[in-house]
Each structure stands twice: as C-alpha cells, then as structure tokens.
Amino acid sequence: MSRTEFEKICSLDDFIDEEGGLGLDPFGNARYDYRAIIEHARENNIDPIDMTVRELGQFVIVGA
C-alpha cells in the first residue's frame, strides 16, 4: 500500500466518521481494518506504510 493510498483511505475514514458511519462498504472492496492498522502502528511506533505483508495480514477483513 502506498502512502498516497493510505492517506486517501484515512481521509475517507474520517469523512465517514463525520457523516455518522456506514454499515457497508459502498465500493465493495474493503480489505483491511484501517483503524486497527493505525492503532497497531501507533502502539509499535512504526509508519503503516512500512508494515510487511505478513503484518498487514492480521488486519484483513474476512468476507470482504
């Protein structure tokens, strides 16, 4: 995931929060729990874009 993609996703997530949230992904392509990724990155003092595929694997949303 590139920094640009991550920033766009974070921006979309912030917008969704401001609008009261969503029950479903309107684009039909959600794959990661970005809030959990951000929390994990903060707790471990790392940049989310530096996470490995293996690390990101724990945040995959099953059934997405």
Spatial distance between the Cα atoms of 1 and 52, rounded to a whole number of angstroms: 10
Spatial distance between the Cα atoms of 2 and 57, rounded to a whole number of angstroms: 16
Q: What is the pLDDT of residue 29?
A: 56
What are the structural domain ranges in the chain?
A: 3-57
Taking CA atoms, 41 is separated from 12, 18, 51, in Å, by 19, 23, 8
Spatial distance between the Cα atoms of 26 and 3, rounded to a whole number of angstroms: 22
pLDDT digits (tens, 9 = 90+) for 5-62: 888 888 877 777 776 555 445 555 546 888 898 899 999 999 888 888 788 878 887 6
Q: How far is CA 64 from the centre of its chain?
A: 13
Contact of 38 with 48, CB cutoff 8 Å: yes
Q: What is the pLDDT of residue 43?
A: 94
Q: What is the pLDDT of residue 28?
A: 54
